[in-house]
């Protein structure tokens, strides 16, 4: 059976993706340092699959070059899905150097280890935050990128640029870059979901913690945007759909390679895909939906707009739909 390395595989999206991979017959090696997850997640992943022995785990930090090289000495991978990164937009504005060090150095170490091992199939976890301020919703894969407003987004944009440069110089690499919009939700079992450490940086878990009394109120940043109710509009996609999309990306990559080989063409490529629903929901609409589902009222207040927040950000999903 094929084996895939999943970096950051005990995190929110990574854990759901591992479940989908194993249930579809893949062997998975997870590497994680538990920066934004915990050991409980690993046990929960294994409890949800029919073949838990198909999952191996290595606790390591990809910033450690020797540990990263050792991974590729101990295992033979058919591909890599790269989730591992710090991901909080607000935090990245406070400690940008930490974000550049973590997100970029770990990726460079990973790419060097892959190159040395001859493993040149990578699915990269990118973000809709790479789209620049000049882009207008709905964003297509050809919308302007760059002009990012925080270190998290810039590390994703810079990584995309690194992969594009590698692809131009060495056509043996295959890159599938997935630009997520706003993954939310949990596994249908309720065993896996989003459980951020400290104060949540994303809207849905923040609302959930207000509903259960962990937090006093929700602050909505801005209510005078040029939108239907004055609050920001975002594209919320279920995390299981995102996870299945990674499985689809691996399958697509393999089929694409086979088709290129059959035509006698170079098998290297770089492709970009938006992962969203194609529909935007406002902050107040999401809150109303959570209130309806829970039967409880969310205490909220309005605060000032945050620098860099776009009024609307939702995907054109024509390409991934095809």
Query: What residues act catalytically?
Result: 152
Task: Please state, in angstroms and rounded to a whole number, the distance separating the CA atoms of residues 298 and 191.
Answer: 24
* Residue 139 structure tokens: 């964003």
- Cβ 261 vs Cβ 15: under 8 Å: no
User: Cis peptide before 246, with omega less than 30 degrees from 0?
Assistant: no
CA dist list (Å): 128 to 21, 131, 160, 243, 274: 24, 6, 12, 16, 8
Closest C-alpha among 107, 65, 68 to residue 86: 107
How many C-alpha atoms does 164 have within 13 Å on its Cβ side?
Answer: 8
Whether the Cβ atoms of residue 186 and residue 238 lie closer than 8 Å to each other = no
């Amino acid at each position: 059976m094929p084996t895939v390395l999943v970096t950051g595989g005990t995190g929110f999206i990574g854990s759901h993706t591992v479940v989908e991979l194993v249930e579809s017959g893949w062997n998975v090696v997870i590497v994680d340092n538990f920066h934004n997850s915990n050991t409980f997640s690993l046990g929960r992943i294994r409890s949800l699959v029919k073949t838990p022995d198909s999952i191996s785990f290595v606790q390591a930090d990809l910033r450690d070059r020797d540990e990263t090289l050792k991974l590729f000495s101990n295992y033979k991978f058919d591909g890599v899905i790269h989730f591992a990164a710090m991901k909080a937009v607000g935090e990245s504005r406070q400690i940008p150097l930490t974000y550049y060090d973590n997100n970029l150095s770990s990726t460079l170490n990973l790419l060097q280890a892959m190159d040395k091992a001859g493993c040149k199939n990578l699915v990269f976890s990118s973000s809709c935050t790479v789209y620049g301020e000049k882009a207008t919703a709905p964003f297509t894969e050809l919308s302007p990128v760059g002009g990012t407003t925080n270190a998290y987004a810039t590390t994703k944009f810079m990584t995309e640029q690194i992969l594009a440069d590698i692809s131009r110089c060495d056509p043996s690499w295959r890159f599938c870059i997935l630009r997520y919009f706003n993954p939310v939700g949990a596994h249908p079992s309720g065993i896996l979901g989003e459980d951020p450490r400290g104060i949540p940086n994303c809207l849905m878990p923040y609302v959930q913690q207000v509903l259960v009394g962990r937090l006093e109120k929700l602050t909505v940043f801005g209510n005078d945007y040029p939108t239907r109710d004055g609050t920001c509009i975002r594209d919320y996609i279920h995390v299981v759909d995102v996870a299945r999309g990674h499985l689809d990306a691996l399958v697509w990559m393999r089929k694409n390679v086979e088709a290129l080989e059959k035509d006698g063409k170079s098998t290297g490529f770089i492709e970009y895909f938006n992962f969203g629903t194609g529909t935007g929901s406002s902050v107040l609409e999401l809150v109303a939906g959570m209130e309806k589902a829970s039967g409880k009222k969310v205490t909220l207040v309005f605060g000032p707009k945050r620098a860099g927040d776009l009024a609307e950000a939702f995907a054109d999903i024509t390409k991934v739909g095809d």
